[in-house]
Every structure is written in C-alpha cells, then in structure tokens.
Amino acid sequence: MHTNHGNMGLLAMIANTMTGCCGPMCELKRAAAAFTGGGEDAITAELPFEAGYAALCTQGTEDTPSHNATSTKFDVDLDTPNDADVPVFAPVGGTAYVFDSNPTGGFGIHINLDLGDDTYLILAHLESVFIDDQSQVAAGQLLGFEGTTGNSSGDHVHFGRHAGDASLDGLYGESFDGLVLNMDNNGQHVQLMTSDMWCALPGGETYNSLLPTPLWHPNGSLIKTPDNDTVYLIEQGELTPFLTEDAFVSRHYDYTDVALVSDSELGCYGLNQGLSDTTVISAVYGNTLNPGVWLLIGSLSDPARERLLLPSVGWQAVLKSWGIIAVSYDDLYHDTIEDGLVAEYAYSGVASFRDGSLVSATGDSAVYVMSDGIAMPIEFWDTLLLSGWEDRNIIEMSDSEFDAAVTVKGDCGTNIYCLVSADVTTCGGPDLDQSEAPSGTTLTTPDLSTTGDLQLTWHTPSAQMVDSITLVGAVTPAGQTENPWGTVFNEVLNASSVSVTVLGLAQGDSLRFSVEFRDNGLASWSCLAPFPPGIVQGTVTATYHGTYLGFTAADDPTSIGCGLTISVP
C-alpha cells in the first residue's frame, strides 16, 4: 500500500527563463513553444509508459490513505513491479522541472511537466531521472525509471495535474480534476478523467498505454540503455556493440553523442559482431602527387585501410564530424613524396560528414542528421527531442561548405528523406515499401531475387521551374567497364523535375547519368565539374524493388566532367 505523503521544506529553485534562442535550433524551438493551454480546463494526456504497457491503478482520486490532501486529491497511483526498472516517458510535451533533493520524503524524486498555462503534470516517486532540470521534452521522450522514493511503500508512479508554479516542489501545487487520460481498458479505447478511473488495491482496473515512444534511430547513431554501460553503433539497421573503451575512443566518438534508449528499442535491431580493436583515423595534407586534404582510416598494418578526399571547401567541418579539429592546413601533417603516406592507402572516394552527425547550414533553418551519406532534415523540434539529441553538438557551416560536402540532401517540403516523429517511434524505422517517398528514409538492401526497374526522379534546386531539363546516361552491367553517359532518357519543358524508368537492372548494375537544365538561356548541370569532388545540384530520388537507393558523384570516363551514379547493391 502506498503511504501518506509527508511535508517537505520549500526548495530554492533558480529558474533560467528562456526568452529567446539562437543558432540552428531556433525555428524548431519556436514551433515547439506554441502551446494552447486551457488554464484549468481539462487536457488530454497519455499514460507515462510505452505503448502496450499495462498498469494497475491502485489508488484513485480523493482516496485513502494518501490522496486526500491539497497536493494529491485528484492524482492517481499506477502500480509497477518492485523487482524491475520500468521506463517512464513524457505523457505530454513541455518544460520539465526535476526534483531529487529529498528522495526520502514527500513526492521523492519527481518531475513537474509545465504545460505553459500555470498548471503542470507531476510524475512522482521515481528511482532515477535521465533529463536535466528545465529541459524541453516531447511527448514519448524517455524521462527516467519508476521507483518508490519519497513517502512510499512500493514501486509505482504517482500521476496527476496540479495548478501552481511548476518550478516548485509538487507539494506546493494544488491537485485538481483537470486531466483526461487516453488509454486502453479491457480492449476498449477510452478517455477518462482521473476521477473516473477505477482504482483499488486489490480490485482496481488495469489500463494499457497507447503512448508512442522511440523505437528507431538512423544509421550512424550511438545509443545505450540507462542501466547498461554498453554503447552501440547502428549500422545498416543493426547494433554493433563497442566491447572496449579503446574501440570507441580510437574511432573519435564522443560519449556526449550517445542517446539513451529503452530495452524495447534495442529489441528492434539485429546484432552484429562487437568491436574490440583499436584503429587510427587521421587527416593529412597531401603531396603534389596526391594534392588536397585526405581522411585516412586504418593503420598502415590494416589491409582494409582507405583514404577519402575531403572537399576543398568546408573540409574543416567534415573533419569535425570525424572527431578531428583543424582550422588550417598548418594543423595537419604534411605528406611528402619521400614519405608517400597517402599513397599507402587505397582511394575510396570523396569524404562527407560522418553518419550520425548533426549538421546545419547558415542559410537553412533545418538541422540535418547524416545517415548513409544522406543529409536528412529533422522536421520538428519534438523529433530531435525524441531522438535524445537535445544536447548534441551541431556542426554549423556556410551554405557553400554544406553543398560541397553533402551529396544527397533531403527536403521536408517535398517529403524526401525527411525525418519525422512517426519514423522515430516505429520499430524498424520508416516503411520503404511505398510508391511515394516516405517521410524519413534510410537505405536498405532490396530484394535481388529478380531483376527490377529503377525509378528515378531528379528535382531542380529548391524545386524551381525552369525552361527545360534533359537527363542523359548509360547503364553499366555488373563487372563491365564504366560507360560514359550518352543516351537521352528524357527531356521535359517548363518543369521542376524529370523522371525516367530504367528497365531490367540486376545486382551489381549501375546507372551513370547527368542532368542539364536551362533557364532564361543559361545552362547548369546536376553535378558541376571538376571531379573530384564535384558539386551536386538538385535532389535525386531513386527506388528499386520499392527500396530507396542512394547515389554518388562520379567522374566521366572520357573527360573531367562530373555526373552521378546509382548502383544496385
């Protein structure tokens, strides 16, 4: 049985009121700040557990022994097991005030979720909290573990709505009948005021949560559960555990970039072999035989060592995503013809931002997460919060630096490679088996049991209307020498995109193509020479067997020109 709440001295809270914001998060934060509160009118919230979790209501409103005080009168107690740590999630979005200075009395460790209308939701008697005081949280975001701190005799979550100052301990708020809970009861979808819930110990009703919670992160993300020290790297939709700290640190990863997730999300991935080896990742300024800045991956004794050429514009920002800080060429090791260090590494293409990094351009309000070489815009601030990235470092750069280093850029306006909350809360991530581009896309391996048709669309930069668009290219069968593009696949007039269907491609085949678009007598192309690195213009969407494929910039075998290549893996 849950015992009476005791008295607690007033906490001296220092509130850092946010009056504005700056940097690439501004637009996302402004959108999240709009809250249509209703004062003491009833609001609807979810149960603070992941969807499907069943919680017995053991003590209801105006109930003995402890829900008969000003601060508890219309709250409910939701039972949780005493022998397990059950994750607690935000039932609504808002500013979270964390109290843990008196875990042995009153509400113990608890969170007040400010609704922005002089009321808040209280989640009390928690064992631990994973967010900072005054954090902005999104509905469904992982907050902590339930527990039995404070004046409590068994694990549970005390839950209700209070009027008052959310920055003060919950004991100083007034519990009132203003909370409707959206949930499942005996297979029926119901919305009940807390005062209408049937609660008793024993004999109370069991209510099932419908709250969507995080179940997916894009490739390149670093995640771990709160109760286990193992950090995982997500690669091709599966978990690669770091078995030693040296394996993590030698790859220039940062523990501040690790997002906390639930065990349920871990269960959504397969498991790869763990990493225990150390490696070397470095940057070198090349010699006259191999000019430019190079990213070297692997040691000289590693047979799989490789080198990637960094873009001449924005190479510092790209290196930063790989954990290497350099301001000028003087900060790098300078290779010589005598040393020949760069030549010891196999050429593997042009470097882009490391998968999992967050990037933003000065002329673009969006924040992008890199995954499979694609810059995926994060549609809303809540999506970033759900992903556990609020405190992540965002690499900021100029528009020209961004364009030079990013080959594929998504666009939420046209629903291309756009990361939304529905993607984050779906086990396995976005559904790629659709005729149109899903809102959020990662690359997966298509069904290669038969040949298939490649559906390709190229969009002009910023979806601008132009006088004409011409797409030319050539198919190179698997194992054969790359062909220069030459066949005109399609030409359209007065359009902002061009589409083609390339029939009968099989595993290992590739399409090399280039797009010329003209407007007011001026011509431009989908990739600007010279290559490498080439500057990609416009946006490409390509599907094969219903799966989205990426593309890379590539040279023309017969010239210094720059085109694009799509390969069937």
**Amino acid 350: pLDDT:** 80
Q: Are residues 289 and 196 in the same domain?
A: no
| Number of domains making up the chain | 3
Note whether 179 and 312 are same-domain residues. Answer: no
Q: In this structure, what CATH number is given to the domain that contains residue 537?
A: 2.60.40
Residue 37: band (very low, low, confident or very high) from pLDDT cuts 50, 70, 90: very low
Q: 340 in a domain, yes or no?
A: yes
pLDDT band at 550 (very low <50, low <70, confident <90, very high): confident
- CB burial of 352-385 (b: ≥16 within 10 Å; e: otherwise) equals bbbbbbbbbbeebebbbbbbbbbbbbbbbbbbbb
| Residue 374 lies inside a defined structural domain of this protein | no
Average pLDDT score over the chain? 86
Instruction: Tell me what pLDDT residue 303 has.
Output: 94
| pLDDT per residue as tens digits for the range 245-257 | 999 999 999 999 9
- Residue 96 resides in a domain: yes
CA 265 to CA 50: how far, in whole Å?
A: 11
Last residue of a domain, one of 209, 228, 260: 209
Q: What is the per-residue pLDDT for 290?
A: 87
Element containing residue 549 per DSSP (H, E): strand 547-549
The answer to whether residues 285 and 205 belong to one domain is no
The helix, strand and coil proportions of the chain, stated in percent and rounded to the nearest 5, come to 10, 35, 55
How far apart CA 142 and CA 386 sit, in angstroms, is: 8
Q: What is the pLDDT of residues 159-196, one digit of tens each?
A: 999 999 999 999 999 999 999 999 999 999 999 999 99
Residues 190 and 290 placed together within one structural domain of the fold: no
Domain of residue 532 covers 445-569
What is the pTM assigned to this prediction? Answer: 0.73
Give residue-wise pLDDT tens across range 411-447: 888 788 899 999 999 999 885 433 333 333 333 333 4
**Of the residues 318, 350, 382, which one is the last residue of a structural domain?**
350
389 alpha carbon, distance to own chain's centre: 7
- Mean pLDDT to the nearest integer, 110-121: 96
Position 43 confidence tier, pLDDT thresholds 50, 70, 90:
very high
Domain match, 36 and 133 both: yes
Question: Which of these ranges, 258-262, 342-346, 403-407, 497-501, has the smallest mean pLDDT?
Answer: 403-407
Torsion sign over Cα 36, 29, 235, 253: negative
Instruction: Looking at the structure, tell me whether residues 65 and 203 fall in a common domain.
Output: yes
Q: Are residues 184 and 319 in the same domain?
A: no
Question: Worst-scoring range by mean pLDDT, 150-154, 273-277, 280-284, 554-558?
Answer: 554-558
